[in-house]
Structure 1
Amino acid sequence: MRILHIFDHSLPIHSGYTYRSRAILKAQVARGWAVEGVTGPRQGVSDSGVETFDGLTFHRTTAHRPARAPLGEWREMRALAERIDSVVDSFRPDVLHAHSPVLNALAMLKVARARKLPCLYEIRAFWEDAAVGNGTGREGSARYRLTRAAESFAVRRVDRVAVICEGLRGDLIARGVDGDRIMVSPNGVDMGMFGTPLPRDSALAAARGLNGADVVGYVGSFYDYEGLGDLIAAMPALVAARPNARLLMVGGGPVDAALRAAAAASPVASHIDFVGPVPHAEVERYYSVIDVLAYPRKRMRLTDLVTPLKPLEAMAQGKLVAASNVGGHRELITDGVTGTLFAPDDPSAIASALAGLFANRSGWDERRATARAFVERERNWSSNVSRYQPVYQELIAAARTDTSWSRLPKVNA
C-alpha cells in the first residue's frame, strides 16, 4: 500500500503531534507500506521542497503571505491542496490520510475529489477546543462556531474518520456522524524508541539536588490547560506532609513565565526546580530521577475529550502516574491499578494524592509493572498501527470498483 499523509507540521519540530506522526509512519514502514508526508505552510521555511528526517520523507508547502482570518486560512488551504496535488503525481498514493487540524482535511478533500482517491481524516483534537485550551480562542465565539462547523462539514464528506480516543468518537456521533464510519487509533508509545528505561542517573540527581528526595515530575509542554499552576500551588501542603518532596519541571511553553513567577512566590520555592526544555534524546535521563509523574490537567471540553500521550510514555518508562480525574485521563488510567486519579482544579487534592503515594511505597512495583504491561499490550505502536490496515484495504478496494467513492461500504473498526 502507498499512503500519503498530510500533516500540520512534522520533524524536525519536536511536539506531541510530531512524535505521534513519527510513530505512525515508522510503524507503517515496518509493515512494508510505502509512506510519505506533506506538511502545511505552518511548518515554516525550509531550504528544500523535500526533506528527510529519521528516514522519513516530507514534502514542504511554501509559506503563504500573512493575512487576517479567514483569508489567511483560505490561502493556507489552497497552498496545501496544490502541494498535495503535485505530490500525488510523483508518489502515486493509494490513499490520502490527513491529520488534524481541519484545514488539512479540507485541502485533502479538494484533491481527493479531483483525483478520485479515497481519503481518511484523523482527528487528534478539535481545533476550536484546542484554541480555547491554549488561550487563543473563546468557547461559543463566532470563530469557535465556524471552526466547529468546518469540522462537521469535513467529517461528513471524507470516506472514513479516525480519532485518537472514545471521547472524540462520542462527540462526533452526537453530531450525527455514523459511528461505523469512525475508527479509533489511540495514542501509543514506540516501545523500540521509548520502552527501555534507563537506570537512575545518579550524576543528574546529585546535580539537581534530588538525592534522598521524594521527586514529583512533569515532563511536557507548559499550556494553561495542563493545570501546572495547581501543581505548584499544591507544593506547600505536600512539603508539609513530606519535607523532602521536590518538584522537577521539564519543558516549556506559553505559560512558562507565569509558572516560574508562581514558583518564585511560593513559600517552598526552593523545592521547585525548572529545568527548561531538553533535547528529546535527553528526556529519559530526567524520567530516571523522577518517582511520580503528575498530570494535573484542568477540566474542560478539551481535556475531557482528548487523551494525552505523556502519561503513556511515563508508564512505558516504568514510572508511577498521578493525574486529574478528567475524561481523557480516565481512558488511560484505572485508579489504584495503573495510576492514581485526583480531583481536577484542586491543589489540596493533588497534595493529598501525592503524599499518600509517598507514604505507602509497598505497592509501587506492582502498579508500575501493571501500567507498563498495559502500554505494551494495548498502546504499543507496533500493534496499534494494524488498526489502519482493514480500513485502508476496504477504501482501496471500493475505490477500484466504485467510481462514486463517496458511497463506500461501512467499515467496522
Structure 2
Amino acid sequence: MRIAMVSEHASPLAALGGVDAGGQNVYVARLSEELARRGHDVTVYTRRDAADLPDRVALPGGAVVEHVPAGPAAPVPKDELFPHMPAFGAWLARAWARERPDVVHAHFWMSGLASRIGAHPHGVPVVQTFHALGTVKRRHQGRLDTSPPERVGVERQIGRGCARVLATCTDEVHELADMGVPPGQVSVVPCGVDAGHFRPGAAPGGVPARRARHRLLACGRLVPRKGYDQAVRALARIPDTELLIAGGPPAGLLDEDPEAQRLRRLARSAGVADRVRMLGAVDPAAMPALIGSADLVLCTPVYEPFGIVPLEAMACGVPVVATDVGGHRDSVADGVTGRLVAPQDPGAVAAVVRELLGHDALRRRQGAAGRERVLAHYTWRRVADGVQQVHHQVLAGHAQQKEVA
C-alpha cells in the first residue's frame, strides 16, 4: 500500500520539547516507521521550515520525509500556518499527480485541509487524525486560544467529509459527535510507546542525584496547559519530596523561557523552590533512566487530547498520578496502574501522592501492572495493527463506492 502521511507542522525529524514539538511528532515518526517495516511505501509530507533542508530524508525502517515548500523556509508557529495551507495542498496535488497514493493519512486539522486540496483531484480517500480538537482548546483556553478563528469550522467540515476519522481515545469520539461527526465514521486507535526503549531497569547514567527521600517527575512540553503549576502547588503539601520538571529549551536557556520563569516564581511563593528542579530539554536516550529514578510520574494538565507521558512512565514500571481528562481516562487504569485525580485540584494531587508514597509495595504492584498494560495495548506494533486495519477498511469502502458509481 502506498501511504501518504501529511503532518504540516510536526515533522518526525524535529527535536522534541519545543512549544510545537511533542507527541504528534513521535506518533507520526513511529507509526510511519512501523508501517514501512511491514512493506508499505510510506512518505511523510511536512513543511519546509529551513532553507538548507534536503528535499527528502530517509527514516529508519524505510519511510521517507519529504519537505514541502509552503510559506517561508523558516520556523513559523503552528497557529500562524493556516494561510499557507492552500499552497501546501496545491503542492501535494501536483506531487500526487505524478505518483498517486492509495490512501492519505492527515495529522492535525491544517494537514486535513491541505490533504483534501491535494487528494480531491485524484479521488484519493483521506483518513484524519486530529490529535487535538479546536473545540476542546477553545473551551479550556478561552481568550488565550491562539488558534485561527476558522479552526473549529474547518475541523467540522473535515470530520464530516473525510473517509474516516481515526480518534486516539474514547473521549474524542464524544467530542466529535458533538461536532456532528457520526460515531460510525470514527475508529479509535490509541497512541503508542516504544516499550523496548522505555523499560524498567534502564542504565542510570546522567540521572540527577536525589536531594530528598522521594522523587516526583513531570515531563513534556513546557507550556501552561500541561499543568506543571498544579504539581508545584501540590508539592507544598508533600514533605521530604522533590519535583523534577523535564522539558522545554536546553537548561542554559531556561532563564529566558516565560513558562520556566512563571513556575520558578510560583515555587518561591509556595516555599518549595529548594525542592523543584527544572532540567530543561533532556536527551530522549536519557528519559527512561530519568523516569525510572522517580517514585511517581505526575501528569497534571487541565486537558490532554491523549498524552504519551503516562505510557512512557507505565512502560518504565513507574505508577502515574494523572488528571482525569481526555486520553488519560483510557490509558491510566485508576487504582491499577496509578491514580486519576480531578484537574486543577492540587490538594487532591497531594493527597493521592502522599498515600502512594507511603506504600512501597502498592507502587511496585501498580508499576508492574502499568508495564503489562502497555505491552498488551500500547506498543507501536499494536497501534500499527489498528491503523493498518483502518486503512484497509477505507480502501475497501472506497473501491465499493467506485464500483457503484
Same fold per superposition (TM over 0.5)? yes
Instruction: After superposition, give the CA deviation of every residue in 1:349-394 in whole Å (9 maximum; x if it has no partner).
Output: 2221111111111222221111111111011110221122333223
Distance 1:172 1:60 in 2: 30
Does 29-38 or 169-178 show the bigger shift?
Answer: 169-178
Change over 3 Å in CA distance of 1:138–1:11 after alignment to 2? closer
Shift of 1:44: 4.5
Q: Which residue of 2 aligns with 1:370?
A: 369
> Which residue of structure 1 lines up, in the alignment, with residue 19 of structure 2?
none
Q: 8 Å contact 1:222–1:252 — kept in the other structure?
A: yes
Q: 1:266, 1:153 → 2: CA distance? A: 46
Secondary structure of 2:298's aligned partner:
strand
1:296 alignment counterpart? 300
The verdict on how the C-alpha distance between 1:372 and 1:81 changes in structure 2, with shifts beyond 3 A counting, is: same
Residues 93 and 117 in structure 2, CA contact (< 8 A), matched pair in contact too:
no
Which residue of the partner structure matches residue 30 of structure 1?
37
Amino acid at match of 1:248: L
The 3 A distance-change label for structure 1 pair 73 and 266 is: closer
Contact 1:200 1:289 in 2 (8 A): no
Deviation at 1:26?
A: 1.6
Mapped contact 2:86–2:117 kept (Cα < 8 A): no
Indicate yes or no: 2:57 matched with 1:51.
yes
Q: Which runs of 5+ in 1 are unaligned?
A: 408-413
Normalised to the residue count of structure 1, the TM-score between the two structures is 0.85
Shift in CA distance, 356/224, structure 1 to aligned 2, threshold 3 Å: same
Task: Measure the CA separation in 1 of the matches of 2:247 and 2:142.
Answer: 19
- Maintained 8 Å contact 1:187/1:379: yes
CA distance in 2, matches of 1:149, 1:251: 32
Q: Aligned residue for 1:326?
A: 325
RMSD of the TM alignment (CA)? 2.8
Superposed displacement of residue 348, structure 1? 1.8
Alignment-derived partner of residue 21 in structure 1: 28
CA distance, structure 2, for counterparts of residue 73 and residue 368 of structure 1: 41
Contact 1:59 1:87 in 2 (8 A): no
In 1: Cα distance, 2:397 partner to 2:328 partner? 37
Letter in 1 for 2:362: G
Q: Is 1:197–2:211 an aligned residue pair? A: no
Deviation digits for residues 309-341 of structure 1 (CA, Å, limit 9, x no counterpart): 110111001111111223432222222111112
Aligned to 2:224: 224
Residue 291 of structure 2: aligned partner: 287
* Residue 10, structure 1, aligned to residue 11, structure 2: yes
What does residue 91 of structure 2 align with? 83
| Displacement of 1:52 | 2.8
Aligned counterparts of 2:94 and 2:4: Cα–Cα separation in 1? 12
Q: Is the 8 A contact 1:325 1:341 kept in 2?
A: yes
Structure 2 SS opposite 1:274 = strand
% identical aligned pairs: 24
Task: Measure how far apart 1:398 and its partner are.
Answer: 4.1
Q: Does 1:172 align with 2:176?
A: yes
1:60 aligns with 2:67: yes
Q: Letter of the aligned partner of 2:379 in structure 1?
A: N
Aligned to 1:411: none
- Aligned partner of 1:383 in structure 2 is 382
* Counterpart contact for 2:7–2:45, Cα < 8 Å: yes
- SS state of the match for residue 60, structure 1? strand
| Kept in 2: contact 1:121–1:158 (CA 8 A) | yes
* Contact kept? 1:216, 1:290, Cα under 8 Å: yes
Determine the C-alpha separation between the residues in 2 that align with 1:44 and 1:281: 25
Report the counterpart of residue 242 of structure 2 in structure 1. Answer: 246
- Give the secondary structure class of the aligned counterpart of 2:132: coil
Displacement after TM superposition at 1:151 (Å) = 0.6
**For this pair of structures, how many residues does the alignment match?**
386
Aligned residues of 2:199 and 2:288 also touching (Cα < 8 A): no
In 1, Cα distance between the equivalents of 2:226 and 2:175?
Answer: 21
Structure 1 residue identity aligned to 2:391: Y
Alpha-carbon deviation of 1:125? Answer: 0.7
Contact conserved, 1:128 with 1:148, CA < 8 A, in 2?
Answer: yes
Q: TM-score, normalised by structure 2?
A: 0.86
Contact 1:46 1:60 survives alignment (8 Å): no
Which structure 2 segments of 5+ residues have no match?
17-21, 250-257
In 2, Cα distance between the equivalents of 1:266 and 1:329?
27
Deviation of residue 135 (structure 1)?
A: 8.0
Aligned mate of 1:119, from 98, 119, 126: 126
Deviations 1:286-311 (A, max 9, x none): 1131111011122xxx43xx221110
Give me the whole-angstrom Cα distance separating, in 1, the residues matched to 2:158 and 2:56: 28
Q: 1:314 to 1:364 in 2, by over 3 A?
A: same
- Residues 393-404 of structure 1 mapped to structure 2, 5 A cutoff: 393-400=392-399, 402-403=401-402
Residue identity matched to 1:235: L
Q: Which residue of 2 aligns with 1:255?
A: 259
Task: Choose from 93, 96, 110 the match for 1:103.
Answer: 110
Alpha-carbon distance change, 200 to 49 in structure 1, aligned in 2, over 3 angstroms: closer
Alignment of 1:312 with 2:311, yes or no, is yes
String of CA shifts for 1:232-255, please: whole Å, max 9, x gaps.
11222112xxx2x11111112762
* Correspondence 1:351 to 2:357: no
Q: Describe the shift of the 1:115–1:327 C-alpha distance in structure 2 as closer, same or farther (beyond 3 A).
A: closer
Give the Å deviation of 1:153.
0.9
Shift of 1:259: 0.9
Aligned to 1:410: none
Partners of 2:93 and 2:121 within 8 A in 1: no
| Alpha-carbon separation, structure 1, partners of 2:269 and 2:99 | 56
